[in-house]
Amino acid sequence: MRKLSEITRRRFGQGLGAAIALTGEANLAFAHGGSHEVAVRIDDFTFVPPTAEILVGDNVTWENGDHAPHTATSLDGTWDTGPLERAAFRRVTFNEPGEYRYVCTFHPHMKGTVLVRNRDG
């Protein structure tokens, strides 16, 4: 029997490495230490997990596992991945605490939340 979960994890790990390599600010964030990356996959028109909990200064990376293009677009207009084609990924760094609800602009029934907490509390 194939171990699908392991295959998925390895595939995503490779994508994450490429994202970090392509983004200059990632190096800066990691140099300061304590910055973490949380992955949200888009599969079958669903953000997984639907709520990503991080601390201020952390990053969230969205990767599209669907054939259809998707976005992750904040309802308050502060950030937007833009359209992600299949297997594309984009990272967003969150420097302000808050609860950021977002949708896919192509499929507004797709909803997710990024919960950003202060490091002190």
Given the rule CB under 5 A, which residues bind Cu ion? 70, 104, 106-107
- Shortest reach from residue 69's CB to Cu ion, in Å: 7
Give the Cβ contact number of residue 114 at 10 Å.
Answer: 23
**Farthest CA pair distance, the chain:** 45
- Shortest reach from residue 31's CB to Cu ion, in Å: 34
Q: Are strands 59-64 and 37-42 parallel, antiparallel or unpaired?
A: parallel
Unique residue bearing structure tokens 């639907």: 50
Report the residue number, 82 or 106, with the smaller CB distance to Cu ion. 106
- Shortest reach from residue 8's CB to Cu ion, in Å: 20
- Shortest reach from residue 68's CB to Cu ion, in Å: 6
Report the residue number, 26 or 104, with the smaller CB distance to Cu ion. 104
Report the residue number, 34 or 106, with the smaller CB distance to Cu ion. 106
Give whole-number Cα distances, 8 to 5, 41, 64, 87, 121, in Å. Answer: 5, 10, 12, 12, 34
Residue nearest to Cu ion (CB): 104
CA distance 102 to 80: 9
Report the residue number, 101 or 107, with the smaller CB distance to Cu ion. 107
